[in-house]
Amino acid sequence: MEKINSITLEGVREFAKKKLVGFRVVCEDMTGYGQEIPEASMSLERRKAAETSEEDDGYWVCFEVHEFEDIPAGMVRLVVPAQKYAVLNFNGHASEIFQVYTHLHKWIGENGYKRVPDKWSLEIYSKWPKSEDKVDLCDPVL
């Protein structure tokens, strides 16, 4: 049985362009992300203080910034264009997030929206503790 702490389907929201700085995580299969993303997130937290890549695969762990200046070595910069997103608010352990996307995708279809998988999806975290988190899962829609 699927155990999910708390989810709330917020609806659809427009986001302005976002400038992000952080680390890119790429794993050979989905199971690796459960370990690698928290490690990259902790590294980012320690470095808070790159290079642009055209490759979109993987997972990017970033902070939003106002300007790209003094980017620490080893970190990347990324610009996510303005986009409309279906948003699901989730409270629970980060390891449960992949399960929650099925709820968001179902809501999108049932409410007459179309997913746009070739655009940037966002996971906006309030914090990243080991036990529980609050995150907005944002899937691009038309």
User: How confident is the model at residue 57, as a pLDDT?
Assistant: 58
User: How confident is the model at residue 115, as a pLDDT?
Assistant: 94
Q: Which residues of the chain carry a pLDDT beneath 70?
A: 1-5, 45-58, 127-132
CA angle 36, 40, 41 (to 5 degrees): 115
SS3 105: helix
The distance in angstroms from the start CA to the end CA of the chain is: 32
User: How confident is the model at residue 49, as a pLDDT?
Assistant: 47
The structural domains of the chain, with segments of one domain joined by +, span 1-15+83-141, 18-80
